[in-house]
Amino acid sequence: MKATIKFLAAGVLVGAALGLVYFAPAPAVAQETDHAKQIGKRLICMCNCNQILTACNHVGCTVSTVMLKKLDQVVARNESDDLSIQAFIQEYGQKVLAEPPSRGFNRIAWFIPGIAFAAGLIAVLFVIQHWRKPSPRVADGPAVRSDILERGRRQADRETEE
């Protein structure tokens, strides 16, 4: 039976290898490196569609056309990314940024998931610790002998896993 499992695992591995060769996307280096696109991904289209500036091409959106033109002009000035983005903030306000800025009150947006995870993790670990404490024995009930319990566990293991 072990041989069959090995055969199965080998089959999966060969399948995965063939799949990878066929489906592997082109390496990232082959992508176009368009500076404007990189900056555009950090901005939101101000037409209220809540989409990334470079992704907003929904029909009739006049706002993204103007913003993309401005983006080209800003990039042509060859300034740093931060300066280019600053030019958009000056015109449209903080709302133009695709992510909340990590300063001041807005930093909280970044903290919430982490805090939720940490709090949840502490709670789960506490619960596990609490639940693992042996429950008080019933005074008048017969105690189960550990060897019988162990035998029962082994039997359950055999029956459920093999």
Partner 1 sequence: MDLFGSFALLLAFVCALYAIGAGIVAIRTRNPLLIKSARQSGLAVCGLVMAASASLAYLFFTDNFSSAYVAAHSNRDLPPFYKIAAFWSGQEGSLLFWSLLLSVYVFSVLFAYRAKHPELMPYVGVVLAGVQLFFLTLNNFVANPFQILGAASPGGAMQYTRLADGAGLNPLLQYPEMVIHPPNLYSGYTGFTIPFAFALAALLARYPGEKWIHLTRKWTMIAWAFQSAGILLGAHWAYAVLGWGGYWAWDPVENASLMPWLTGTAFLHSVMMQEKRGMMKVWNVWLVFSTFLLCILGTFLTRSGVVSSVHAFAQSSIGPWFVGFIIVVLTVCTWAFLMNRDYLRSNNHLDSMVSRESSFLFNNLILLVACVAVLSGTLFPVLSEWIEGTKISVGPPFFNRVNIPIGLFLLFLTGVGPLLAWRKTSLESLKRNFGGPLVCALAAGLLAFPLGLRDFYPLVCLILCVFVTVTILLEFFRGARVIRARTGSDILSAAGQLTLRNTRRYGGYVVHFGMVLIFIGLMGAAFNRDKQMEMALGSALDIGPYRLILQSFDTRPEKNYTAERAILEVMEDNRQIMMLFPERRFFQANQESGTMVAIHSTLKQDLYVVYAGRTQDKQTPVIHAYLNPLVKWIWLGGAIVVLGTILALLPSRQAVLALRPAARVVPAAVTPQTVMTGVSNYEGHD
Residues numbered 87-106 forming contacts with partner 1, rule: CB under 8 A: 93-101, 104-106
Contact region with partner 1 (CB under 8 A), list: 45-53, 77-85, 137-145: 45-53
* C-alpha distances out from residue 11 to 14, 16, 34, Å: 5, 8, 41
Q: Any contact of residue 80 with partner 1 (CB under 8 A)?
A: no
Spell out the residues 6+ positions from residue 67 whose beta carbon is closer than 8 angstroms to its own.
Answer: 43, 45, 46, 53, 88
66 scored as a contact of partner 1 (CB under 8 A): no
Size of residue set near partner 1 by CB under 8 A: 71
Measured at the alpha carbon of residue 62, what is the angle toward residues 53 and 44, in degrees to the nearest 5? 20
From the CB of 88, what's the least distance to partner 1, in Å? 12
Using the rule CB under 8 A, which residue among 38, 73, 117, 151 binds partner 1?
117
Distance from C-alpha of 86 to C-alpha of 80, rounded to nearest angstrom: 10
Distance in Å, CB of 79 to partner 1, minimum = 21
82 closest CA partner among 42, 37, 34, 32: 42
What is the C-alpha radius of gyration for the chain, rounded to an integer number of angstroms?
A: 30
Residues 18-37 touching partner 1, rule: CB under 8 A, are 20-29, 31-32
Residue from 66, 76, 83, 127 binding partner 1 (CB under 8 A): 127
Q: Which residue has the tokens 């470079």?
A: 54
CB of 24: closest distance to partner 1 in angstroms? Answer: 4
Q: Establish if 86 lies at the interface with partner 1 (CB under 8 A).
A: no
